[in-house]
Structure 1
Amino acid sequence: MKYFDKFHPDNFYHIYNHAVGDENLFRKHDNFVFFLSRYDKYISPIAKTFSYCLMPNHFHVLIQVRDEKAIRLLSKNDDDEFDFHKFIMQQLSNFLNSYAKAFNKQHNRKGALFLDFTRRKEIKDEFYFSRLINYIHQNPVHHGFCKSASEWDYSSYNSIISINKNSKLERNAVFDWFGGIEEFIAFHQKEGSIDLDL
């Protein structure tokens, strides 16, 4: 199983990382909120987000990298030798480093916070998309933090189904995969917590 697929324009990826050792990435509500604000600053410009889940010691995100034109405009680089993958990796690194630096300062700690490799798996199968979104949302259920995906405040589940609230998530595309909001909810209820071959 490949965990370090290269980033390419328009492709979908499951991204996840874990805290070092027994450390937690998030110790209080404000940490979750700040992480999402850093995510919006560094990742939203380079990728569309379809689902996420923040757990105390790890996180999962399903994204689609934006097209090459958008990334080149962001990078301000029109060189023929432009390294697309390297630029996306740098944005990801900037994001995690920005969060870790602030977290360390707030909690008076030193050293690495995340594992030194962020796993990324390219997703090509449409059926796997639905199962992966469910897997991401069911993570807190799987780990015993709650009994249903809707009970966890730090995932995209409730944002996706709150159709009257604005969201930067690709809500309509998610509903298209499932066949609508009712089918989205029913799939999560029917499948429950599942394991994927990660």
Structure 2
Amino acid sequence: MVYHIFNKSIADFVIFNTDSDFNRFISTMKFYLYDQKKSISSEIFYADKHGEVFVPNSGDDKLINIICYTIMPTHFHLIVDDFDDDYVSKYMNNIQNSYTRYFNLKHKRKGPLWQSRFHRIAVQKDEYLIHLTRYIHLNPVTAFLVSKPEDWKYSSYQEYIAGEEINCVYKKYFPENYNFNKFYKEFVDDRIDYQRQLALIKNSIIE
């Protein structure tokens, strides 16, 4: 089953402040794609130390697949394909609890970090999926953090538009297209102004 999963910090507190913070969360997401028996600290320590994102062993069997993600300063969006219905809750608990421990230790604080357990919405129609990925990849642009989605390093967008086959896992969920990378970039770029205008209207109504 494919799910859109999202959560945000308590009181919109900025919980991703540095490259190390963003990379740590992304590494944790990738580490727990598998039913790990090892300690996360021993696996991710090297990546953290060198400012890199953890890359799991591609030979291992995944229990869940990340289709799309964007990490924002106060929240995150994921689209996942859960091969085992019992695993998605365990997966989210693992990555959120792990990041909370990392963040609290780093900032010498105690207590919860997340506003709620997490939100999960089933994606019932395949044709809706590509539009949802576009919305998620445009989050940093909509928030005026960057002018182009490819300028935001903490999302899967670069893997969608890369010329080389970095991660073909994404493409299997979408209709076949001769030049998927070019098609997807145009598909996303076409929505930038519209999504920004919607955000401005929404903010003006709230104010």
Task: Give the TM bin, normalised by the shorter chain.
Answer: 0.7 to 0.9
**Corresponding residue for 2:69?**
52
Runs of at least 5 residues in structure 1 that lack an aligned partner in the other structure: 1-10, 72-83
Alignment TM-score, normalising by the size of structure 1:
0.76
Partner amino acid for 1:33?
N
More displaced, 22-31 or 12-21?
22-31
Runs of at least 5 residues in structure 2 that lack an aligned partner in the other structure: 35-61, 199-207
**Partner Cα separation in structure 2 for residue 58 and residue 119 of structure 1:** 12
**Corresponding residue for 2:21?**
31
**Corresponding residue for 1:75?**
none
**Corresponding residue for 1:143?**
143
Question: Which is bigger in relative contact order (C-alpha 8 A, separation at least 6)?
Answer: 1
Identity of aligned residues (%): 26
**Corresponding residue for 2:125?**
125
Q: 1:64 to 1:16 in 2, by over 3 A?
A: same
**Corresponding residue for 2:43?**
none
**Corresponding residue for 2:96?**
96
Aligned-residue Cα RMSD (Å) equals: 2.2
Task: Give the match's secondary structure for 1:117.
Answer: coil
**Partner Cα separation in structure 2 for residue 165 and residue 27 of structure 1:** 30
Task: Give the match's secondary structure for 1:52.
Answer: strand
**Corresponding residue for 2:175?**
176
1:113 equivalent in alignment to 2:113 = yes
**Corresponding residue for 1:3?**
none
- Aligned-pair CA distance for 1:191: 1.9
**Partner Cα separation in structure 1 for residue 3 and residue 24 of structure 2:** 23
More displaced, 51-60 or 119-128?
119-128
**Partner Cα separation in structure 1 for residue 72 and residue 173 of structure 2:** 22
More displaced, 175-184 or 155-164?
175-184
**Partner Cα separation in structure 2 for residue 33 and residue 42 of structure 1:** 14
Q: 1:143 to 1:178 in 2, by over 3 A?
A: farther
**Corresponding residue for 1:189?**
189
